[in-house]
Structure 1
Amino acid sequence: MRHLVVAASALALALGVTTAATASPGGPPSPPGSKGWQTQVVDTDQSFRGLDAVDGRTAWVTGGSVSDGGAGSVYRTTDAGRTWQDVRPPGSQGLAFRDVEARDARTASVLAIGPGEASRIYRTTDGGRTWGETFRNREEAAFYNCIAFAPGGRVGLGVSDPVDGRFRIIRTTDGGASWRVLPSRGMPDSTGEANFAASGDCLTMSGRTAVFGSGGERSRVFRSDDLGMTWWASSSGIPAGEAAGVFALALRTPRQGVAVGGDFSDPADGSRASSVTRDGRTWRTAGDLPHLGEDVEWLSRHRLLVVGEGGEIGGTSASGDGGRTWRLVDPTAWHTLDCERGTCWAAGGGGRVGRW
C-alpha cells in the first residue's frame, strides 16, 4: 500500500533511529530473562518488516533503508541469531524488501514493494550468494504488498493493490522460479480498497486455500480455494479507514483463522482490532488488542501471539482462548513475527530482531 512506504520513514523518525553508512550485523542477543524477547540490533539503517523462520536456528529478515535512497536489506542467520549475514541481492539501492518466504537455509524468495517496476521478486537457492530476478511488475497501477507459499513450497501467490478496481494476483507453480499474472475476472470488485504491506503477512495460505485482507473504504477478508483463480470477500469485522483495516492473517487450518489490524493513524487504539473465523467463510470481531496488530501467529489450537509497532506505541500480546481476549505479555514492539518448532522470531524498526 502506497502510504505505508511514506509511513516507514516517519516511523523511523518516531523511533529515533540512527543511520549507518554501511550495514553491519550486530553481536549475540542480550541474555534472556525468565520470559521475554532476546533482542539484538542487526542493522540500524533498516526497518525490518519481512521475516521467515525456518526453525530455531535459521531465519531470514528483510527491510528497507531509513536513509534517503538507501539500499534494502536481506539478512540470514543459521546459528540462532549469534551472527547475521548480509545477503541482499545486488542492485538493492532504493528498494524496500517487505516480505521473505524461505523454504530452508538456502532457498528463499524476497519481495520488493512499490509502484510499477519497484515491485519485484528475487530468488536464491544458495543461501543468498547469488540471486535471480523472477518477477518484475510491468503495470504502473499495480503495487505488490506480500507473497505466500502453500505447504511444499511449489505453489505461491502474490497480491497487489487493485488495478482497474480489482486486486491483482500473481502465481508461481515452480517454487518461485517464475510468476504470472492471473486473470482478474475471478476477483470481486475492490474499488477503494488496498492492502497493507505492514508485516509481509497480509496474504497467507493453507493447502489450496489462500486469504488476504484489505482496508480503506472497506475492511474485508478475501478467500480462494482454488489457488488464486476465484475469490469471494467477507466483512472482516475490523474497522476500515484510510490507514485502517486488516494488516495480517494466520490460518491454523483452512477453516480456522485469525485476522488482526487497527489504525496506523491511532496505533494505541486496538479496539475491535482482531477477528476470527471457525468455518473459513464468516468472520466475527474478537477481543480488543492492547495495541494495533501488525502480525499474528498460532501457537496451538487456542493460543495466539500478536505484535504491533507504531512509533513508540506497541507491544507483544497473547491469547489463550482463540482470540476472544488478549493480554500484554511483553512491552517490546515489533512489525513482524514468525514461530517455528517452539521458537518465535520477531523483527521491527531500528534494525531489531528478537528471539523467544
Structure 2
Amino acid sequence: MRRLGVTTFIPAFIPALIPALVPALLLLPSSATAAPAPGPDPFDDWRETVVDADQNFRGLVAVSKREAWVTGESLSDGAARVYRTTDRGTTWLDVSPPASEGLSFRDVEVTGSVTHVLAIGPGEASRIYRSADGGASWTESFRNTDEDAFYDCMAFYPGGRRGLVLGDPVDGKLQVLATEDRGRTWSLLPDKGMPASAKEFGFAASGNCLVTAGRSAFIVSGGARARVLRSDDRGLTWTATTSGIPAGPAAGGFAGDMASPRRGIAVGGDFEDADDTTDNVATTRDGRTWSAVASLRHVGEDVAFVRGWRYAVATGDYDGSAGSSITRDGGATWTRVSKLGYHAVDCVSKVCWAAGSEGRVGRG
C-alpha cells in the first residue's frame, strides 16, 4: 500500500511511561478457576535499543527468545537494511542484501533455516530476497515487472514450503503471489477466486496485512472497504466479510494475527487522522465473521498474540498517535500500558519484540 510516510519519532525510552500495575497483567488466569500462569510479562522488563537511526523499521519476525530479524527503509534515501540478532538483542548484525539503495524492506519471514525479505513499491521496486544461510548470501527470488502492481505483505504456511504475497488491486482485484518450493520461485495466482476489490488494499504498515493459521490465510484490508478475506485453498479462492473497522482512503484494518484458524484480532485506524481510533479493533471467534469490538487509545499498526487466544499486544506509532496496549480477553477490552509505540510487534514463548522509527527495537 503506497500511501504510508515516515512516522513521528518518539524519543528515548522512558521506563516511567510503563505503569507499575503492568507486571503480571499477562499472567491473569484464562478462566475464573484457573491458577495464574507462570512466566514474564513482556512489558515488565522492557528494554529498547537503537540499532540503526537511519532506518524506519516495519518488518519484524521473532524466531525465538534469542533470535529476531528486523527490516527497514532508509530515512536519508540510502540503502534498505536487514538486521539479525541471536543473543537476545545485545548485538545486531547487518545482513542486508547487496544493492538495496532506494528499496523499502517492509516484511521479513523466517521458516526453518530460510529467510525471506519483501521490498515494496510500484513496478520493480517490489521484490523478494531469499537467504538459506542466515543472511550471509541472498538470491533475488522475485522481481515485479507489472508497473500497475504493488506488493504489500507476505506470509508462509506452517512448514515453510508454501507461502503467499498480497498485492494491491490490478483490474479491480487484489493480487496474490504464491510459492510451492520454499520461496525459490513465485507465480501470480489467477484472480477468478478473488472478490471484486477495486480501491481496496493491504497496508504495508507492519508486514501483517496477510497472515496464516493452519491451512487458512487471512487478508486484512482497508481503503474503499475494510474487510477480512479468508482462503482455505492456498490463495485460489477467497471469501470476504466486513471487519467493522471504519474504511477510508487511508483507513481500515492495518494488520492482524490469528491464534488459530478460528480466533483472531485485527487492528487499524486512519493514517489521515491518526487520532481517530474509533472501533479500530475487530475480532473473530469462528474465523469467518468479524466485528469491531473495541477502540485503542492509539493507532493500531500491528498486533500479536502472546499466549493462547486471550492475551495479545497491539502497538502503533504514526503522526503523534503512539502507544502499546494489552488485552487479556481476546481483544474485547484493552489496557494502554505505554505511550511508547512501534510499527511492528511479534511474540514467541511469552517474549515480545517490537520495531519502529529511527531504528528503535525493543524486547521484553
Find 1:285's aligned residue among 280, 283, 292: 292
Question: What whole-Å deviation, never above 9, does each CA across 1:165-210 have from its counterpart, x for those lacking one?
Answer: 0000001111111111100111010012111000000000012200
Aligned to 1:133: 140
- Judge conservation of contact 2:312–2:331 (CA < 8 Å) in 1: yes
Is 1:309 matched with 2:303? Answer: no
**Equivalent-residue separation in structure 1 for 2:46 and 2:251 (angstroms):** 28
CA RMSD of aligned residues (A): 1.5
Whole-Å separation in 1 of the counterparts to 2:147 and 2:332: 41
1:9-28 equivalences under 5 Å are 11=7, 14-15=8-9
Distance (whole Å) between structure 2 residues aligned to residue 323 and residue 150 of structure 1? 24
Measured at CA, do residues 232 and 323 of structure 1 come closer, stay the same or move farther in structure 2, by a change above 3 Å? same
Taking the aligned partners of 1:141 and 1:81, their CA distance within structure 2 comes to 39
In the other structure, the counterpart of 1:50 is 59
Tell me which residue corresponds to 2:105. 97
Q: Tell me the residue number matched to 1:318.
A: 326
Does residue 81 of structure 2 align to residue 73 of structure 1?
A: yes
Number of matched pairs:
335
Find the aligned partners of 2:196 and 2:176 in 1 and give their Cα distance: 14
Q: State how far apart, in whole Å, the 2-side matches of 1:175 and 1:331 are.
A: 39
2: CA distance, partners of 1:338 / 1:16: 20
TM-score by length of 2: 0.89
Residue 15 of structure 1 aligns to a residue whose secondary structure is coil
Counterpart of 1:289 in structure 2: which amino acid?
L
Residue of structure 1 aligned with 2:175, choices 144, 147, 168: 168
Report which stretch shifted further, 308-317 or 158-167: 308-317
Find the partner of 1:341 among 334, 346, 349.
349
| Counterpart Cα distance in 1 of 2:349 and 2:296 | 26
- Whether the 8 Å CA contact 2:263–2:309 is kept in 1: the answer is no
Match status 1:272 vs 2:279? yes
C-alpha separation in 1, matches of 2:339 and 2:299: 13
Name the residue aligned to 2:250.
Answer: 243
- Unpaired runs of at least 5, structure 1: 18-29
Q: How does 1:1-12 map to 2 (within 5 A)?
A: 1-4=1-4, 7-8=5-6, 11=7
> What is the 5 A alignment of 1:63-212?
63-68=72-77, 70-104=78-112, 106-212=113-219
1:48 touches 1:61 (CA, 8 Å); kept in 2? yes
Task: Judge conservation of contact 1:268–1:314 (CA < 8 Å) in 2.
Answer: no
Task: Measure how far apart 1:303 and its partner are.
Answer: 1.3
Q: Report the counterpart of residue 22 of structure 1 in structure 2.
A: none
CA positional deviation for 1:312:
3.1
Moved over 6 A (4+): none
| C-alpha contact (below 8 Å) 2:274/2:320 kept by paired residues | no
Deviation at residue 311 of structure 1 after TM alignment: 3.0
Change (3 A) 1:256 1:84: same
Give the C-alpha shift of residue 16 in structure 1. Answer: 7.9
Alignment check: 8 A CA contact 1:267 1:314 kept: no
For the residues of structure 2 that align with 1:150 and 1:190, how far apart are their CA atoms? Answer: 24
**TM-score (ref. length: structure 1):** 0.91
| Aligned equivalents of 2:300, 2:143: Cα separation in 1 | 30
Whole-Å separation in 1 of the counterparts to 2:161 and 2:340: 35
Q: Secondary structure at the match of 2:336?
A: strand
Structure 2 runs not aligned, ≥5 long: 24-43
How far residue 290 of structure 1 moved from its aligned partner, in angstroms, is 1.2
In the aligned structure 1, how far is the partner of 2:219 from the partner of 2:255? 8
Q: 2:228 aligns with which of 218, 221, 230?
A: 221
CA distance in 2, matches of 1:233, 1:197: 20
- Calculate percent identity across the aligned residue pairs: 53
Measure how far apart 1:239 and its partner are: 0.2
Cα offsets for 1:250-275 (capped at 9, x unmatched): 11111111111001122222210000
Deviation at 1:313, TM superposition (A): 2.3
Q: Check the 8 A contact 1:122/1:133 in 2, yes or no.
A: yes
Measure the CA separation in 2 of the matches of 1:36 and 1:332. Answer: 14
Post-superposition offset of 1:103: 2.1
Indicate conservation of the 8 Å contact 2:264/2:309, yes or no: no
The one of 349, 360, 364 aligned to 1:352: 360
Q: Tell me the distance in 1 between the aligned counterparts of 2:271 and 2:236.
A: 31
